[in-house]
Amino acid sequence: MDELFGQLASKAGVGRTLAEKSIGTMLDFLGNEGPSMQIDAPIDEISGAKAPIPAENSGGRLITDIQGIAHELFKFGRDKIGADQMRAILAETPGLSQLA
Please tell me what DSSP assigns to residue 38: H
- The number of distinct structural domains making up the chain is 1
Helix, strand, coil shares of the chain, percent, nearest 5, are 75, 0, 25
Confidence grade of residue 84 (pLDDT, cut at 50, 70, 90): very high
Report the alpha-carbon distance of residue 13 to residue 91 in Å, rounded. 27
What is residue 5's three-state secondary structure? helix
Length of the chain, in residues: 100
- Contact indicator for 66, 22 with CB cutoff of 8 Å: yes
Say what the pLDDT of residue 83 is: 92
Report the alpha-carbon distance of residue 49 to residue 98 in Å, rounded. 23
Mean pLDDT, to the nearest integer, of 71-99?
86
Residue 59 lies in domain? 2-99
Report the alpha-carbon distance of residue 71 to residue 22 in Å, rounded. 12
Q: What is the pLDDT of residues 32-66, one digit of tens each?
A: 787 877 777 777 766 666 665 555 555 556 666 77
Report the alpha-carbon distance of residue 91 to residue 85 in Å, rounded. 10
Mean confidence (pLDDT) of the chain: 77
